[in-house]
Amino acid sequence: MADHQEASVTLPSDPASVSAARKYVSRVLMEWGLPAEAEVADTVRLIVSELATNAVQHTLGQSPTFTVGLELDRDEQLRIGVTDSHPRYPKRLPAAVQQDNGRGMVIIRWLAAECGGRLSVSPTEEGGKTVWIALPWTAPVEGRPRDPAR
């Protein structure tokens, strides 16, 4: 496998795009060697769903599209980023008993940590932001034995 692989897709900020983003990421990860039935694949799909949903719902119509980007470095780390053009960074909303939303970032951060990863947010040159998740890559690399310490 190459030392660095990248893939991305730009989708309209529409609720239907959340499913399209999830399917795109699943397909790319399978091409890169992560079996669809792997537990971490389910986690990645849920993270992408939450990030894409945030990009659609919380940009207040100021981001007509969002981009899902994937980077795989040296078969060791997977980075998934969702970029939109809205300048406001995601924030944790107060957890009210009656509140049905506002917990997405808490869920994403928890899921990333459970997989040994982390969440970060960085500004774009155009004034928007990218919410990144970095996770250890767990797929076996073809032609190379799997290191059990990883």
DSSP one-letter string for 33-86:
T--TTSHHHHHHHHHHHHHHHHHHHSSTTS-SEEEEEEEEETTTEEEEEEEES-
Dist CA 21 CA 26 (whole Å): 9
The chain-wide mean pLDDT, for the chain, equals 85
122 to each of 33, 34, 129, 131, 137, how far by Cα in Å?
28, 27, 6, 7, 22
pLDDT for 90: 79
* Count of CA atoms in the C-beta half-sphere (13 A) of 94: 3
Element housing 106 (H / E): helix 104-114
pLDDT in tens, 96-113: 544 555 677 888 999 999
With 90 as the cut, is the pLDDT of residue 58 above it?
no
pLDDT for 62: 83
